[in-house]
Chain A
Amino acid sequence: MRLPLTAVLLAWSAATAYADGRAATWVSVYSDDDDLTVVSPQLSVRSDVGQEVEVEAGYDVDIISAASIDVVTAASPRGYEERRHGLTLGATWRPALATTLSLSYFPSWEADYRSHGVLALASREWIDRRLTTAVDLRVTLDRVGRAGEPSQSWRDLQQLAVGSTAAWVFDRWTIGRVIYQLTRNDGFMASPYRFVDVTWTDTGMEVSVPEAVPDGRTRHAVSANLRRALGKRLFASGSYRLYADSWGVVSHTGEVEVQRTFDWDRLIVGIGARGYRQAAADFYERSYQAATGQFPELRAADKMLAESWSVLGSARGEVNLGAVLGFRALRLTLKLEYLDQHFIDFELLDGRRGLIGAMGATAEY
């Protein structure tokens, strides 16, 4: 992978040597009381190539260290450590002021997962640029296996997602947006590491069998967002999302954020809150029972399929340093979030509390 990456970077630097653009880095660290730590640095660069074309490249890593009780029992005696790498390569073409077409390719890889994804997006502004409509199509082809096993034994998972967006400028202070996304997954969606305990009712014997979930899943998600400037220095936004899928999972997500600027926009301070609640999948049970020698056709030991709710609180600060170090503008951001997640019907874990600390820098040149 190093050679293609180097070639991409060389081509990138040649194509964008004298162009305007933006470079950004973001590092987040997630740590919770369930012994899960994830460090996620990412870097992205965007540059104009001529008047109508913009190219983008990005690289991100997840460094995961886990010793959660359900991971310890399902995957390995002492938990695990792994890394996920991801790339993004994309181009945006603006053939007219109000029209945008973009295409991006985003592969990712880790010891037990390979993914190749393509995203195509078309958007157009209408009615004096007050209405923006967009459609996007996302296709991913994944391979799922167990680390160390030959890739011939890995299984396929495909995803096709179609999204549509309508955004409306109500007045000079208010923007509203509605998004609908339809997603279809086909293939292997269980965890190759997870086993489900089944109790045989007449003997009381407990046996462990691999997780088994449906091969297909259709997901619907619709969200509405309203953003408004409350004066020159105060901004507020609120959003709601409804999600439902063919596995019976239904969820509601609500989110609000307030931001205030100081010192002529050199400093932005914001606080936010997010609430989430989901119903369990139809086939999910806290514990499975069957007649001797039998197993439930569908069975899962995944806490993400259990009934759950969570709250997330966040605080962030952003400083605009202006033109420094040869850049046209340099911004630094610091963010702290607290996640409190509760699993209503999951035998091994009733919840977890996590802290997410993040910082980033964005340079325009």
Chain B
Amino acid sequence: MIRVIVVAVFLTSCGGSVKPWQRETLSHPCMVDESRAEELRARLHMLVAREASQGAAGAAGGGCGCR
């Protein structure tokens, strides 16, 4: 329980709060993958055919909280 509280305090205090009207930069096309979905998909497709590694390439996406 103490660990949960510590993590919650850390998360809520890290960098201060970011209000909805402060998310303009976070939603910029240079900050979100969604605006380049086709480009990134083509690149991933090319690399998977040339390397033995795969996975953790960002399929889940999201994160800017600016939708």
Contact check, A221 vs B37: say whether CB atoms are below 8 A apart: no
Residues of B30-44 at the interface with A, using a CB-CB cut-off of 8 Å, are 30-31, 35-39, 41-43
Contact check, B30 vs A251: say whether CB atoms are below 8 A apart: no
Minimum-distance CB pairs A-B, first 3: A167-B63, A221-B55, A129-B65
Contact check, B26 vs A169: say whether CB atoms are below 8 A apart: yes
| Bound complex: CA A219 to CA B53 (Å) | 8
Name which residue of chain B comes closest to A161, CB basis.
B55
| Given A172-B22, A172-B23, CB of A222 within 8 Å of CB of B31 | no
| Bound complex: CA A265 to CA B31 (Å) | 13
**B12, B30, B50: most-surrounded residue (chain A CB, <10 A):** B30
Question: Number of A interface residues, CB 8 Å?
Answer: 84
| Given A40-B42, A123-B62, CB of A169 within 8 Å of CB of B18 | yes
Contact check, B18 vs A305: say whether CB atoms are below 8 A apart: no
B19: min CB distance to chain A, Å = 8
B10: min CB distance to chain A, Å = 11
Which A residues have a C-beta under 8 Å from some C-beta of B?
A: 24-26, 28, 30, 38, 40, 42, 44, 62, 97, 100, 119, 121, 123, 125, 127-132, 134-136, 138, 161, 163-165, 167-175, 177, 179-183, 219-223, 225, 227, 229, 232, 235, 241, 243, 245, 247, 249, 251, 253, 259, 261, 265, 268, 270, 276, 278, 281, 304-305, 308, 310, 318, 333, 335, 337, 339, 341, 356, 358, 360, 362
Interchain CB contact (< 8 A) of B38 among A25, A163, A308: A25
| Bound complex: CA A70 to CA B15 (Å) | 53
Q: Is the interface of A mostly helix, strand, loop or mixed?
A: strand
Q: How many A-B residue pairs have CB under 8 A?
A: 178
Contact check, B30 vs A172: say whether CB atoms are below 8 A apart: no
A226: min CB distance to chain B, Å = 11
| Given A179-B56, A181-B55, CB of A28 within 8 Å of CB of B42 | yes
| Given A136-B59, A167-B62, A360-B39, CB of A278 within 8 Å of CB of B15 | no
List 8 other contacts, CB 8 Å, given A26-B38, A310-B51.
A24-B37, A26-B41, A40-B42, A164-B60, A183-B54, A222-B56, A229-B28, A243-B56
Contact check, A281 vs B52: say whether CB atoms are below 8 A apart: yes
Interchain CB contact (< 8 A) of A128 among B18, B26, B55, B57: B18
| Bound complex: CA A183 to CA B16 (Å) | 37
| Bound complex: CA A167 to CA B36 (Å) | 18
Contact check, B52 vs A170: say whether CB atoms are below 8 A apart: no
Please give, as numbers and ranges, the residues of chain A lying within 8 Å of B41 by CB-CB distance: 26, 42
